[in-house]
Amino acid sequence: QPVAAARFFAAEWVSRPLHSFASAAFFLAVLGLLALIYNLFARYTPRLRSAGGYRDMVFARETPTALAIARIAISISLTLAALRYVGFIYGEGLLTDPAFAGFGPPAYPKLIDRLLPFWDIGANAWRIVILTVGVLAVLGVATRASFALAWLITLYLVSHYEAWTPSWSHGEAPILLCAIPLLLRDLRGRFYLPIGRAPPAASPFFPIFVSQLLLALFYFGAFYAKMGLAGLAWVTTDHLANSLDFAWGRLTADHPKPAYVAWVQQNPVLVRACALGHVLMQAIPILVLFSPGKPWARLFGGAVFAFGVVLLWAFMGYLWPWYWWLPIAVVFVDWDYFLGRVRFGPRARAR
């Protein structure tokens, strides 16, 4: 039991035995809840079946509709994120404000600045490049190049901004992660702008499934970190209230804390209930790992992911985005199944 091991190596089984036992028990209870949800979907929702089982569900399916929609959605998210970070860099004075440089010793420049110094071509030039590449990727033109370039531009801008700001540094990780399995692939799928006479390309489900899994692991990693580092105390103490204070602190002085956030912080029962819901939402999407043949279970995981994004924006405010994360939630939807277009390889069949 990994959380029990974490408590052991932190020497809390001796110094705080009750907390350690409660944390391990809570972790097991969450896993039990996940098993219950999984079995409910397995028993009461339609599912795909094939002779090859899990292997065919992941490797033998053709999903041209889902692939095209994933390309469009992720490209939109990458474009929106890149445009927003151009605003962060130029609008917040990242290039000139000495306050940013004060967060790190000048003698030790960040790795991104050593390898790829920021290319200051101006905010408008950056926007033109981002929009051009993004439109090509959305339309399905030269998808191997346009999609990969959109990903690299976003990674470049986010890396420079994160390297010089003191807040949590996993910004845009969901968008960047879920795009990785699709890099350098023909992503035309069912919807694209036909140019020339390029032959139809394969549209395997496997890279989409890996994208779903990476998004789920992003959430589950946050859940596991809370359990491993703080245990049940993350729920029963003021961890969430302190996180909200940081989100609406001096870094976001121009964005006052909403009244409902302060109200939640001041209510001990409510803030702990929100903390419990928060960790449960981060754990639930991992169900996609076990559900390649259960479209409704993966749809549920995507709905939880999207709901979590909206709540992050509502409670963490300016520190966390929301609108440019939401499009990637459609990656969880098995569009080919719900549109009645299930296609397997020669050894598999749907029932």
**Bridge partners (DSSP) listed for residue 62:** 204, 343
Identify the pLDDT of residue 351.
Answer: 35
Query: Residue 289 has what DSSP assignment?
Result: G
Identify the pLDDT of residue 117.
Answer: 77
pLDDT tens for 285-310 read: 999 999 998 999 999 999 999 998 88
Dist CA 92 CA 113 (whole Å) = 18
Residues 47, 293 contacting (CB under 8 angstroms): yes
All residues at 6 or more sequence positions from 211 whose CB lies less than 8 Å from its CB, including other chains: 70, 74, 177, 178, 179, 180, 181, 182, 331
AA identity, residue 317: G
Dist CA 49 CA 52 (whole Å) = 8
pLDDT tens for 254-274 read: 667 888 888 988 899 999 999
Identify the pLDDT of residue 146.
Answer: 92
Residues 292, 57 contacting (CB under 8 angstroms): yes
Identify the pLDDT of residue 16.
Answer: 79
349 pLDDT tier (thresholds 50, 70, 90): very low
Residue 127: name the closest of 157, 94, 92, 161 by CA.
157
**Bridge partners (DSSP) listed for residue 343:** 62
Chain centroid to Cα 282, Å, comes to 11
- The SS3 call for residue 351 is coil
Query: In angstroms, what CA-CA distances link 326 with 78, 167, 177, 263, 318?
Result: 11, 22, 14, 26, 16
pLDDT exceeds cutoff 50 at 180: yes
Count CA atoms closer than 13 A to 190's CA, side-chain side.
Answer: 13
331 pLDDT tier (thresholds 50, 70, 90): very high
106 pLDDT tier (thresholds 50, 70, 90): very low
pLDDT exceeds cutoff 60 at 57: yes
pLDDT exceeds cutoff 90 at 178: yes
Dist CA 108 CA 131 (whole Å) = 34
Query: In angstroms, what CA-CA distances link 220 with 33, 83, 217, 280, 294?
Result: 14, 28, 5, 9, 20
Identify the pLDDT of residue 131.
Answer: 96
Identify the pLDDT of residue 346.
Answer: 47
Residues 152, 89 contacting (CB under 8 angstroms): no
Average pLDDT of span 148-176: 83
Average pLDDT of span 45-73: 86
Average pLDDT of span 92-115: 55
Dist CA 30 CA 170 (whole Å) = 25
Query: Residue 60 has what DSSP assignment?
Result: S
pLDDT tens for 186-240 read: 777 676 666 656 666 677 889 999 999 999 999 999 898 888 888 888 899 888 8
Dist CA 38 CA 320 (whole Å) = 30
Residues 81, 175 contacting (CB under 8 angstroms): yes
